Amino acid sequence: MISSDLTEELADLLGMERQETASLFNGFCGAMVAELLAFRRLSIKGLGSLYVAHVPATKKSAGATTIFAPPVNKLRFESTLSSGDETLSLAVSRLSMSQGEAAKFARTLSTLFSSAIQQETEIVLNGLGRFALEEGAYSFFPERALEELLNREYQELKEVVLPHHHESVSEKRALGSVVPLIVITVLALLFALWYGKSFSSKAHPSKELKSPIVQPQAQARSSIASVITSAGTPAARAVADSLVLLKGDYAIVLATFESEKRALVELAPLRSAGINAFLWLASMDGMKYFRVMTGKFASREAAAEQLKGMPRNSVRGAYIQQAKQSIVVYGKKGL
């Protein structure tokens, strides 16, 4: 409702009882909320324009942690109208008023709103918010319940806080001792191979050596690669071309693109490395976009644990998303 003074003034100007006027205005507030939820923008003469602004997912560093915040829809206010006044159409279509009654209601309401804002009088709009003077500034403050309705598609998403990974002194020492050991082992193998061939050649001079000669440098690279692979780096392997995410499953979204072609370009090296990465087709406000995702988890905690263990350069901008319905995500061949 609005303040009692404004309600009484509106009742006098419309020639109506105060209680009837309050009921009419509350109905108009409900019409404004419905219009805003449906079209995400609303212009009312005397007040200004309300619109819904989409803020995408963000990543920021805070001390020793990185915080991944989910996307959010914010209700914004502009004091100037960006389009025509919608008071008349709302009064006719949603309050079933005649054209004459609606025109008088629109003119009267515009005058009252304009005067109240100039005088910085508090205006409370049920279900929408309020205009009030706080901390020296007259501003619009949206109602929390309305903002929750505007973000119902993101209600399951929470902030993800990840600690920065710092290599410990013990890890550095362990790495420093492992590398010389690898080099010594490789050299010993090469010496044994050379010695064996040399001995065989002397013992059987008439026999031609048929074994190919292994270059020491290539052999060293091969041995080190084997050690690294066994330590946890995923070796290239066949990756399934599709995955079923059931309603309620969680996945890690690495990046989001408006173009499927661009998303496939980013997807290719991940799949070539044996990572189970797929494209997740989604839409918002009638526009398609493509998520590059990996993993399938029964809980957000399990997904967060996996995200912690991923290389830092792979999780830049990544966040956890829950499937709102069962869906098939796909690889390079599409669906």
Return the number of other C-beta atoms located less than 10 Å from residue 170's C-beta: 8
d(CA 75, CA 145): 12
Pair (126, 200) in one structural domain: no
Range of the domain at 224: 170-231
Q: What percentage of residues in the chain have a pLDDT greater than 90? A: 26
pLDDT tens per residue, range 71-123: 889 999 988 765 678 999 999 998 999 999 999 999 999 999 999 999 998 99
User: Tell me, what's the pLDDT at 334?
Assistant: 52
Among positive and negative, which fits the CA dihedral 303, 309, 315, 317? positive
- For β-strands 65-69 and 41-44, DSSP reports them as unpaired
Model confidence at 224: pLDDT above 50: no
Pair (204, 130) in one structural domain: no
In a domain, 99, yes or no: yes
Domain boundary among 162, 187, 212: 162
Which of 265, 276, 250 has its CA nearest to residue 330? 276
In a domain, 94, yes or no: yes
Of 330 and 131, the one with more pLDDT: 131
d(CA 237, CA 256): 25
DSSP string covering 160-207: EEEEPP---HHHHHHHHHHHHHHHHHHHHHHHHHHHHHHHHHHH-TTS
pLDDT tens per residue, range 225-240: 332 233 334 444 566 7
Query: Considering only 55-64, 94-103, 320-329, which range has the smallest mean pLDDT?
Result: 55-64
User: Tell me, what's the pLDDT at 185?
Assistant: 58
Pair (40, 83) in one structural domain: yes
> Rounded to 5 degrees, what angle do the CA atoms 99, 102, 103 make?
85
Pair (247, 227) in one structural domain: no
Q: CA 6 from chain center: how many Å?
A: 42
What is the total count of domains within the chain? 3
In three-state secondary structure terms, 276 is: coil
**DSSP bridge pairs for 239:** none
User: Tell me, what's the pLDDT at 249?
Assistant: 93
E-assigned strand segments in 56-192: 58-62, 65-69, 72-78, 123-125, 129-134, 137-142, 160-163
* Residue whose structure tokens are 């290719």: 268
Query: Considering only 28-37, 84-93, 326-335, which range has the smallest mean pLDDT?
Result: 326-335
In a domain, 179, yes or no: yes
Pair (120, 205) in one structural domain: no
- For β-strands 48-55 and 72-78, DSSP reports them as antiparallel
Which of 312, 317, 160, 161 has its CA nearest to residue 250? 160
User: Tell me, what's the pLDDT at 234?
Assistant: 42
Pair (175, 43) in one structural domain: no
In a domain, 37, yes or no: yes
- In this prediction, residues 256-270 reach a mean pLDDT of 87
In a domain, 335, yes or no: no
Q: Answer yes or no: are the C-beta atoms of 266 and 255 closer than 8 Å.
A: yes
Q: CA 100 from chain center: how many Å?
A: 47
Pair (107, 9) in one structural domain: yes
pLDDT tens per residue, range 133-175: 998 899 999 999 898 888 887 777 777 777 765 544 444 454 4
Mean pLDDT of the chain: 76
pTM: 0.49
Pair (213, 102) in one structural domain: no
Residue 193's pLDDT band, with cuts at 50, 70 and 90, is low
Pair (107, 180) in one structural domain: no
Tokens describing residue 203: 């013992």
